[in-house]
Amino acid sequence: MGMLDRFKKNPDGGEDQSKAEMDAMFAKFGEIIDERLKPVNESVSGLKSEWETIKAEATKPPVVDNRPKDEHGNPRALTPEETQRNLNIALAEQNVQNAARWIEESVVGSLKADWKHVAGDLRKMFADTPVARKAQPDYAEYCKNCATLVIGREAESAGLRRKENGEFFLEDKSGVSGEPDSILNDPSLVWHYDTPQGPRTMSAKEQLAKLHIDPKEFEDSARKGRV
């Protein structure tokens, strides 16, 4: 008998009572854990928020009064020369921004259809780039590198990994196995179910753990046709 035979459906089409009871137990167990961890999570979240506020205040640079001063240290009005100089700087920065925006949109427009969804992240990266960097002659190359970075980061977060032989593969996000060709990486083995707290998923490895079954032992048995 395979190790999961006891959870197969009955001939009349209904589920085995033991499996139904175990499913209910898993759901109840999840509810209890969520309820017990809720105060802890709220406390940690509150502390983190307070720490971020303290950190922001502690690292905030001092307010510097850049207004011109007279010989007594009192603020004074700008001279015509100073006004013109500030205007020239503002115009120069605007020209740089306009030229940079054309380059940025050209790079965003060159994204392939599969990567159009990262356009927002790419534009934010461009918006956070200092004007001085945008004025550099290699800014177009910089923007292309930003696009490569955003796409690479997205691919990595989606599970793209590289084998030692140079081949790339998509790692199953359920984290069921460290081996890219593991049968436990089959998305169809992920169990989707609803709880009062919302929809949940349980990976193949997690399901086996609930049943006190060693994943490696199960996989070996499955490969040998014993399951």
Query: Tens digit of pLDDT for each residue in 111-140?
Result: 998 889 999 999 999 999 999 999 999 999
Do 180 and 216 belong to one domain? yes
Secondary structure (3-state) at 201: strand
Model confidence, pTM = 0.45
Residue 14 falls within a domain, yes or no?
A: no
Query: Tens digit of pLDDT for each residue in 31-52?
Result: 666 676 666 666 667 667 776 7
Do 141 and 184 belong to one domain? no
End-to-end CA distance of the chain, in Å?
Answer: 8
Do 87 and 148 belong to one domain? yes
The tokens describing 67, both together, are 């207004």
Residue 119 falls within a domain, yes or no?
A: yes
pLDDT of amino acid 121? 92
pLDDT of amino acid 1? 47
CB 227 within 8 A of CB 12: no
Given 97, 123, 158, the domain boundary residue is 158
For the chain, how long is the longest CA-to-CA vector? 99
The tokens describing 196, both together, are 């009062």
pLDDT of amino acid 40? 61
Given 135, 158, 181, the domain boundary residue is 158
Look-up of token digits 């086996």: 208
Do 180 and 154 belong to one domain? no
Do 183 and 137 belong to one domain? no
* Domain carrying residue 189: 172-227
Residue 19 falls within a domain, yes or no?
A: no
CA gap 97, 108 in Å, rounded: 16
CA gap 179, 166 in Å, rounded: 15
Do 138 and 185 belong to one domain? no
Residue 2 falls within a domain, yes or no?
A: no
